Each structure stands twice: as structure tokens, then as C-alpha cells.
Amino acid sequence: MQQETVRSGMIEISYREAVREAIREAIKRDERVFLMGEDVGRYGGCYAVSKGLLAEFGPERIRDTPLSESGFTGAGIGAAMAGMRPIVELMTVNFSLLALDQIVNTAATVRHMSGNQFGVPLVIRMATGAGRQLAAQHSHSLEGWYAHIPGIKVLAPATLEDARGMLWTALQDPDPVLIFENVMLYNMTGKLAADAGPVDIDRAAVRRPGRDISLITYGGSLWKTLEAATALAAESIEAEVIDLRSLRPLDDASIMTSVAKTRRAVIVDEGWRSGSLAAEIAMRIVEQAFWALDAPIGRVCSEEVPVPYPSHLENAAIPQAPKIVAAAKAALGRA
């Protein structure tokens, strides 16, 4: 193992490049795979993820689409039913609402409704989250909505390894998989093994071990939560940080194992608080680990407003490290 890593070495790479490498590998490896979406080809992708791929693979497999989210998402569903492995890119989660009919009424239902005769092995990628001053129609975090829907799987890669590795595994899945890429992560850079490959898509990961409190999060909030954990450590609070990775299905076992150890939990979720994924996780902890708890479960979610344009208001609207620190300390009775 060690020799392998030494031989292949580590490379400096951005999250954006890691996603691009994942797409490139998938298209090379499987002739059924193609990428389709608005401006994925000539423009290079709204967030530059697919830059260069058109020149490499041509317009059939890097397919620019008109602004017809429902039309081309449905086309991805049909192509998947007929043996292809499409990757549909929706520029942002807000635009995915224009394709909601196809995702919820067709992709999610067909296998069950047809009595297992037809499946939809489709991957849909989209950007999510706030932080780029794009205001209230480009900045929301609606992945929790999608996690509500039986029949689809929902992933939130937060690390370079997951950005690089989740796509291939998702493409092997016989059912529709939605991948949410937080917009603030695209520029994140770091070291990744040059031979990094597929990763599992059904387990949560402990990103920082700790004994005092479980901080449960995903996606763009992972890094703020790790920042908060560092700040807490300076006050001798050892927080355990759980990266959910998969929002549907949720890895209950990993959550409960952590909570059983720390006896306290705070959930950090960029979605709005009401009816949120955070609410679902809190309830599962109550159902499965109530007697292990020493304190009420805390939540750090987005404020219940449409995300505004000015930077200071945008920052105030979404979870930030100081709020996470405060919530953790409150759960520990050290507010």
C-alpha cells in the first residue's frame, strides 16, 4: 500500500479539477457515459468543471443543451432506461426546480411503479450553496428536499477524494443518483493521490475524531465545522466531525456510533431549519439514541430568508464557524 502511494505520488489538484478528472475517467472507461447540460461544451461549464472536455471527447459525448432543464433531464432518464449512462449537469440547484417533474415524477418512480421492469441508472450533478453573492435565485441549498424522495440517492462530496471518487461509483448504481457540489468548494485545492479512484457512496466518514460532542454535517459546511472543531479544541473541547457524504440513504449506524460515544450532537446544515435534513437527523438520533444523550440536540442551519446579495448579509444567512462553536458550547453547558 505504502509503496503504491509512493510510486504514484500525490498531486496538487482543485475540487473542480477532481470532478473533471472523474468525468474524464468515466467517459474514457465506459462508452455508454456522456455529459449533457447547459454550456458544458463550448463554454467549458458554468463553473468551468468541464473545460477542455469537448476538445477531448467531441460534441456527442460532451453535449451542450438548450436551456431546457426538464427536457434534457428527461432525455437523460430515457437514455439511461435504454442502456446509456448519462451524466446530466444542472447549473445550480435552483435551476433543477425546472426539472423537478422529471426527477421526482419519473426518475424516482419508474422502477417501483413498473414492478422492477425499468430502471434509471442516471447521474445528475448540480452546484448548490451560497457564498458567491449570487443572491436568492442561485444560492440555495435544496439537497435536503431531494433527500426526501424515495427512489433516488443523494450525495454531497465535500473532499477532493469524494469529488474524484463518487462519480464512478454513482455511475455503477442501477438507480438515479444526484450529486451536489457546493459552489464554495470548486476552488479548494489540496493533495490527492495521483491514482485516486472510486470511493463508496453509502457511508458517512469521521473527518476528525473526538469524545466530547458530535458535529454532524456535509458538503460546504464540512470545512466550517472543522474550523469550529479546531477552535473548540483550543478550549479543550474535543469535537468529533462526521461528514455524512450520502444524504439519502443516511448512514444511521455511523451517526449513532458517534453519538453513543460523545452523548451530544449538533447538526450543521446549509438548508433552512424548518423541515430540514437537520430535523430528520435529529429525529433519528432521538428515535435510536435518545437514552445516550446528555443534552438537547443542537442545530446550525441557514436563517429563514431568501439568501441576499450583499456579502455581510449572505454570510449572516448561512452557517459559519462561530455559530457552530456557540451551538457546541451550548450543548456542553459552556455557553
Q: Is there binding between residue 199 and another protein (CB under 8 A)?
A: no
| Alpha-carbon gap, residue 314 to 123, rounded angstroms | 30
Q: Is there binding between residue 71 and another protein (CB under 8 A)?
A: yes
Sequence-distant contacts of 282-287: CB under 8 A, at least 24 apart: 284/250, 284/252, 284/255, 285/255, 285/256, 285/259
Smallest distance, Å, CB 11 to another protein?
A: 30
Residue 56 appears among annotated catalytic residues = no
Per DSSP, the three-state class of 62 is: strand
Q: Is 39 exposed, middle or buried (0-12, 13-18, 19+ CB in 10 A)?
A: middle
| Alpha-carbon gap, residue 39 to 102, rounded angstroms | 20
Residue of 202, 290, 288 whose CA lies nearest to 250: 202
Beta-strand pair 246-248/153-155: antiparallel
Q: Which of 28, 58, 118, 309 binds another protein (CB under 8 A)?
A: 118
Residue 69 appears among annotated catalytic residues = yes
Smallest distance, Å, CB 154 to another protein?
A: 13
Q: Which of 116, 274, 304, 335 binds another protein (CB under 8 A)?
A: 116
Q: Report residue 12 as a C-alpha cell.
A: 496538487
- Is the bond leading into 249 cis (omega within 30 degrees of zero)? yes
Smallest distance, Å, CB 172 to another protein?
A: 7
Q: Is there binding between residue 37 and another protein (CB under 8 A)?
A: no
At a CB cut-off of 8 Å and minimum separation 6, what does 155 contact? 162, 166, 170, 177, 178, 179, 180, 201, 245, 246, 247
The window from 7-15, 22-30, 82-90, 251-259 that contacts another protein (CB under 8 A) reads 82-90
| Alpha-carbon gap, residue 308 to 310, rounded angstroms | 6
Q: Is there binding between residue 198 and another protein (CB under 8 A)?
A: no
Contacts with another protein, 7-36, as mask; x by CB under 8 A: ---------------------------x--
Q: Which of 30, 39, 161, 175 binds another protein (CB under 8 A)?
A: 175
The window from 3-11, 58-66, 285-293, 301-309 that contacts another protein (CB under 8 A) reads 58-66
CB nearer to another protein: pick between 81 and 136 = 81
Smallest distance, Å, CB 118 to another protein?
A: 6
> Looking only at residues 209 through 228 of this chain, which bind another protein when binding is defined by CB under 8 A?
none
CB nearer to another protein: pick between 9 and 59 = 59
Smallest distance, Å, CB 254 to another protein?
A: 20
Q: Is there binding between residue 333 and another protein (CB under 8 A)?
A: no
Q: Is there binding between residue 68 and another protein (CB under 8 A)?
A: yes
Smallest distance, Å, CB 166 to another protein?
A: 16
Instruction: Please give the torsion angle defined by the CA atoms of residues 308, 313, 49 and 195, in that order, rounded to the nearest 10 degrees.
Output: -140
Whether 260 and 214 have beta carbons less than 8 Å apart is answered as no
| Alpha-carbon gap, residue 2 to 175, rounded angstroms | 35
Q: Which of 1, 2, 83, 291 binds another protein (CB under 8 A)?
A: 83
Contacts with another protein, 145-164, as mask; x by CB under 8 A: -----xx-x-----------
Q: Report residue 89 as a C-alpha cell.
A: 449537469
- By annotation, the residues acting in catalysis are 69, 138
Where on the chain is the footprint of another protein (CB under 8 A)? 34, 60, 65-66, 68, 70-84, 86, 101-102, 105-106, 110-119, 121, 150-151, 153, 172, 174-175
